[in-house]
Chains A and B, each alone.
Chain A
Amino acid sequence: AQSVTQLDSHVSVSEGTPVLLRCNYSSSYSPSLFWYVQHPNKGLQLLLKYTSAATLVKGINGFEAEFKKSETSFHLTKPSAHMSDAAEYFCVVPTNNAGNMLTFGGGTRLMVKP
């Protein structure tokens, strides 16, 4: 079975400082992995995805994530936080090989201080 654990439920950073949102996954095969973001009163938006190509994946809004099989991690980073990055972030893995269900992590709420 696949599962995903987001290690921090809340992260607070100052504007202009780096962002690190941590995600560990458990999978019996090399999975696809996604990061989604949900801004207040908005729908889920795909930030980036890993699908067995390059291990360093670049997404929208300056975010990137690195797939590390040895550490079973897929942490999301951004060099410099912006106020508009304040949102909830979800690490997501397909639940099974058939790809007909998605498992979401518990979410990390990112707060950005001026």
Chain B
Amino acid sequence: NAGVTQTPKFQVLKTGQSMTLQCAQDMNHNSMYWYRQDPGMGLRLIYYSASEGTTDKGEVPNGYNVSRLNKREFSLRLESAAPSQTSVYFCASSEKFDRGLRNTEAFFGQGTRLTVV
């Protein structure tokens, strides 16, 4: 039982390059989320998918796109990377949708450390 798996774990991009962060969960969860974690800023919600077939913007969606490929997979794409997108990215999933994660337990991947130079 792997839980939430993110790939890659580390990535360095040049400004303007594109890439896709992959996330898969094997817990049959309905909801999936993408967060970024920056020093002093906490964890901020980029996009979420409350259920298969739906996606919505979170607090910091600019510069990103997402695809809920199926119930298991939720990818995050950077079309033209910028240094401001240097961050640690976490994917999470939960049984029920809860934007603030107050009333449902979320399971997180191990994170992707992205550096844009």
Chain A contact residues, CB within 8 Å of chain B? 32, 34, 36, 38, 41-46, 49, 51, 92, 94-95, 98-104
Number of A-B contacts (CB under 8 A): 59
Which secondary structure dominates where chain A touches chain B? strand
User: Do residues A99 and B108 form an inter-chain contact, with CB atoms below 8 A?
Assistant: no
B interface residue count range (under 10 / 10 to 19 / 20 to 34 / 35 or more): 20 to 34
B102 lies within 8 A of A101 (CB): no
Specify which chain A residues have a CB less than 8 angstroms from the CB of B44 in the assembled complex. 101
- Check if A46 sits within 8 Å of B105, measured CB to CB: yes
**Taking the complex as formed, is B90 at the interface, i.e. its CB lies under 8 A from any CB of chain A?**
yes
Bound-complex Cα distance A103 to B59 (A) = 13
- Judging by beta carbons under 8 Å apart, are A99 and B101 in contact? yes
The B83-117 residues at the A interface (CB cut-off 8 A) are 90, 92, 98-103, 105-111
B37: chain A residues within 8 A (beta carbon): 104
Given contacts A43-B3, A43-B90, A45-B107, contact A100 B58 (CB under 8 A): yes
| Chain B neighbourhood of A32, CB < 8 A | 100, 102
Knowing that A94-B101, A99-B99 are A-B contacts, what are 19 other residue pairs whose CB atoms are under 8 Å apart, sorted by A's residue number? A34-B101, A43-B3, A43-B4, A43-B6, A43-B90, A44-B90, A45-B108, A46-B106, A46-B107, A51-B103, A94-B102, A99-B100, A99-B101, A101-B44, A102-B42, A102-B43, A103-B43, A104-B42, A104-B43
Asked whether B103 lies within 8 Å of A42 as measured between CB atoms, the reply is no
Whether B32 is near chain A, meaning CB under 8 Å from some CB there, is no
A and B contact pairs by CB, cutoff 8 A, 26 listed? A36-B108, A38-B110, A43-B4, A43-B6, A43-B90, A43-B108, A43-B110, A44-B92, A45-B107, A45-B108, A46-B105, A46-B106, A46-B107, A51-B103, A94-B101, A99-B98, A99-B100, A100-B59, A101-B42, A101-B59, A102-B35, A102-B42, A102-B43, A103-B42, A104-B37, A104-B42
